[in-house]
A and B are shown apart, each in its own frame.
Chain A
Amino acid sequence: MIRRLLAALGMAALAPSVWAGEALTGEVQKQPLNISAIIMFVAFVGATLCITYWASKRNKSAADYYAAGGKITGFQNGLAIAGDYMSAASFLGISALVYTSGYDGLIYSIGFLVGWPIILFLIAERLRNLGKYTFADVASYRLGQTQIRSLSACGSLVVVAFYLIAQMVGAGKLIQLLFGLDYHVAVILVGILMCLYVLFGGMLATTWVQIIKAVLLLSGATFMAVMVMKHVNFDFNSLFAEAVKIHPKAEAIMSPGGLVKDPISAFSLGLALMFGTAGLPHILMRFFTVSDAKEARKSVFYATGFIGYFYILTFIIGFGAIILVSTNPDFKDAAGALLGGNNMAAVHLADAVGGSIFLGFISAVAFATILAVVAGLTLAGASAVSHDLYASVIKKGKANDKDEIRVSKITTIALGVLAIGLGILFESQNIAFMVGLAFSIAASCNFPVLLLSMYWKNLTTRGAMIGGWMGLISAVGLMILGPTIWVQILHHEKAIFPYEYPALFSMIIAFVGIWFFSITDKSKSAVKERALFFPQFVRSQTGLGASGAVDH
């Protein structure tokens, strides 16, 4: 018998990885063809392709292509950032986690949110003032261009690759579940569409696709939460009371369960979530699409609000599913399990509160979400290759805009082909750990180099290089030796590294490495790099000479 979709986060209750929320995994059962969902999805694709066409007419320079000409407002950018964060898997996964374990879903989402204020307080404005198109602009501002840009580009590409695989596999599974279409059709479709957005529309189209999707997702989720609350007469007390009465775990769904096993794992996970966000290339890139530091700050404010609101909605939706879905035999199979698996909790709830048209709407939005996220990832990967590797490392800063964009477009196609290939290759693999790995690498390589380049005067190229690579390698290495890959994927008896999340250790390794190899660096170039800190500091604080600032 085919195993039902072992919902990624449903499995979290059985032990494995908290990361699963970002990646749909396990085997799925193909559902019957869903016509209304397909029609609405086609409408979404049509609208976004129109936007891409419109954006392609306006894209004239490299600044337009990479950073939407710096003309996105703080509010729009806040929505786009929130859109990057509210992936299909986090919508379906977190509501499924709430559905199966209750309170743990809230703990999980809080971990994802608290990084944002820190990004605002410590990074956002300096990043905007120093950078142009990619975060490597900032990291390499006063350091050796070749070395630091190569490091940052590798860090970006590795993060993008793992994130992309997770999203592609998720897209394939989701389309089987929601539309009743073939896995390969989904993966190829996603690959082609994301290339179209990025190739022709650049950052402008990618941003607008993300904004539209964020608005659709937030409205759909709001409608569901309101309908759930209407069912319980807008009384939280009876919402929880009813859920406790129905749920097999009863009272346990109202307090922390098995999500966090020990303080070290919890702490390590928290660090990866918080600082990994501050090292994700596709998120950092969004800070260059606004005109100045003022708008960059506003973006984070709005993004934090939208993301927080969204997590509160998913919590209500999860509880709503306990009350309205788990009690309805229409949504269950003979064995009493949810049709299509626990990840379908929110989708079934859409049917329960809004009928088949609304079900189609939510399915289409869930799939659109993946599309928007992979487009952002692809653009970030393509920029790392064209702006950092090609223009700065290979051409030593002498490339012209036209060639640079051409390289970016070639990379986009290459990434599209690669993503389709990997999506098909990893179809039946357990990819739940990949988003975790992406966050851990971002927190251990991109983030330390970026942070210290802005804050620490004594940082030198040698320190950043050696420490950054140490962080990258230790994050990957410890993840492989840890329980997730060593035991669950490679089927060894016992993990060599006992913790699931390497970030706590790999971040310490990176920071200590950067510190040690910087202070012991007595070279001539190190002296020069330290002297350059003060002009950089003035610019990071005041925005004097910042790109885009002259337009005002």
Chain B
Amino acid sequence: MNDSIYLKIQNSPRFKELVKKRERFAWILSAIMLGLYAAFILLIAYAPQVLGAKLSPGSSITWGIPIGVGLIISAFILTGIYVQRANGEFDEMNAAILKEAEQ
């Protein structure tokens, strides 16, 4: 692999666009995940009674259950969203950039 291809890609506006888009997307999703988890930990530390409150007076299920399970499911959904876009849109852009550079 020669250096000129790397240089060409590095200066290509499409490459810059891909990097900007993908990094932004990755950081936003990371922030959502970390934010949700941090909020959960803060709830446990400062307001555990919120998680211990019952869904409704007659129910035995507390809010902590849907919140906890929701956190697990949201981790799965967030990875799904990322993979969907990265393996589709971003990989297409990537293929186009590589093709352009090799010409």
Binding stretch for chain B, among A4-12, A105-113, A143-151, A369-377: A105-113
B5 near A544 with CB under 8 A, answer yes
CB distance from A447 to the nearest CB of B (A): 15
B51 near A117 with CB under 8 A, answer no
Given the contacts A117-B78, A121-B29, A298-B87, A544 and B68 also touching, CB distance less than 8 Å: no
A301 near B83 with CB under 8 A, answer yes
A308 near B73 with CB under 8 A, answer yes
A300 near B60 with CB under 8 A, answer no
A122 and B31 CA atoms in complex are apart in Å by 11
Chain B 4-28 residues near chain A, CB threshold 8 A:
5-7, 9-10, 15, 18-19, 22, 26-27
Given the contacts A236-B61, A539-B6, A544-B98, A267 and B73 also touching, CB distance less than 8 Å: no
Given the contacts A270-B37, A304-B76, A118 and B30 also touching, CB distance less than 8 Å: yes
A44 adjacent to chain B (CB < 8 Å): no
Total A-B residue pairs with C-beta atoms closer than 8 Å? 149
A116 and B72 CA atoms in complex are apart in Å by 11
A407 and B61 CA atoms in complex are apart in Å by 56
Q: Across the interface, which residues of B come within 8 angstroms of A495, CB to CB?
A: none
Q: Across the interface, which residues of B come within 8 angstroms of A241, CB to CB?
A: 60
A329 adjacent to chain B (CB < 8 Å): no
Given the contacts A118-B30, A122-B26, A122-B30, A107 and B75 also touching, CB distance less than 8 Å: no
B41 near A263 with CB under 8 A, answer yes
Given the contacts A120-B82, A263-B41, A312-B72, A544 and B6 also touching, CB distance less than 8 Å: yes
Q: Across the interface, which residues of A come within 8 angstroms of B65, CB to CB?
A: 103, 106, 236, 240, 254
Q: How large is the interface on B (under 10, 10 to 19, 20 to 34, 35 or more residues)?
A: 35 or more
Given the contacts A125-B86, A260-B45, A542-B97, A114 and B37 also touching, CB distance less than 8 Å: yes
| Binary CB contact string for chain B from 38 to 56 against chain A (1 if under 8 A, 0 otherwise) | 0011101110110110000
B19 near A541 with CB under 8 A, answer yes
CB distance from B56 to the nearest CB of A (A): 10
Residue from the list A236, A244, A255, A544 in contact with B49, Cβ < 8 A? A255
CB distance from B43 to the nearest CB of A (A): 8
B72 near A308 with CB under 8 A, answer yes
A120 and B85 CA atoms in complex are apart in Å by 13
A304 and B71 CA atoms in complex are apart in Å by 12
**Taking each of B72, B80, B86, which has the highest tally of chain A beta carbons within 10 Å of its own beta carbon?**
B72
Given the contacts A256-B51, A541-B19, A270 and B9 also touching, CB distance less than 8 Å: no
A260 near B26 with CB under 8 A, answer no
Q: Across the interface, which residues of B come within 8 angstroms of A180, CB to CB?
A: none
Q: Across the interface, which residues of A come within 8 angstroms of B60, CB to CB?
A: 237-238, 240-241, 244, 254
Given the contacts A255-B64, A304-B76, A542 and B15 also touching, CB distance less than 8 Å: yes
A120 near B83 with CB under 8 A, answer yes
A292 and B26 CA atoms in complex are apart in Å by 19
A395 adjacent to chain B (CB < 8 Å): no
Chain A 300-324 residues near chain B, CB threshold 8 A:
300-301, 304-305, 308, 311-312
B75 near A113 with CB under 8 A, answer yes
Q: Across the interface, which residues of B come within 8 angstroms of A497, CB to CB?
A: none
Q: Across the interface, which residues of B come within 8 angstroms of A298, CB to CB?
A: 83, 87
A234 adjacent to chain B (CB < 8 Å): no
CB distance from B34 to the nearest CB of A (A): 7
A114 near B79 with CB under 8 A, answer no
B41 near A266 with CB under 8 A, answer yes
A541 near B15 with CB under 8 A, answer yes
Given the contacts A106-B64, A116-B79, A262 and B45 also touching, CB distance less than 8 Å: yes
Q: Across the interface, which residues of B come within 8 angstroms of A538, CB to CB?
A: 6, 9-10, 15
A301 near B80 with CB under 8 A, answer yes
A103 and B60 CA atoms in complex are apart in Å by 13
A interface residue numbers (CB < 8 A to B)? 103, 106-107, 109-110, 113-114, 116-118, 120-122, 125, 236-238, 240-241, 244, 251, 254-256, 259-260, 262-263, 266-267, 270, 274, 294, 297-298, 300-301, 304-305, 308, 311-312, 534-535, 537-539, 541-545
- 22 residue pairs of the A-B complex, CB under 8 angstroms, read A107-B44, A117-B33, A121-B27, A237-B61, A240-B61, A240-B65, A241-B60, A256-B52, A266-B41, A298-B87, A301-B79, A301-B83, A305-B79, A308-B75, A311-B72, A312-B69, A312-B72, A534-B6, A535-B10, A541-B19, A544-B9, A544-B101
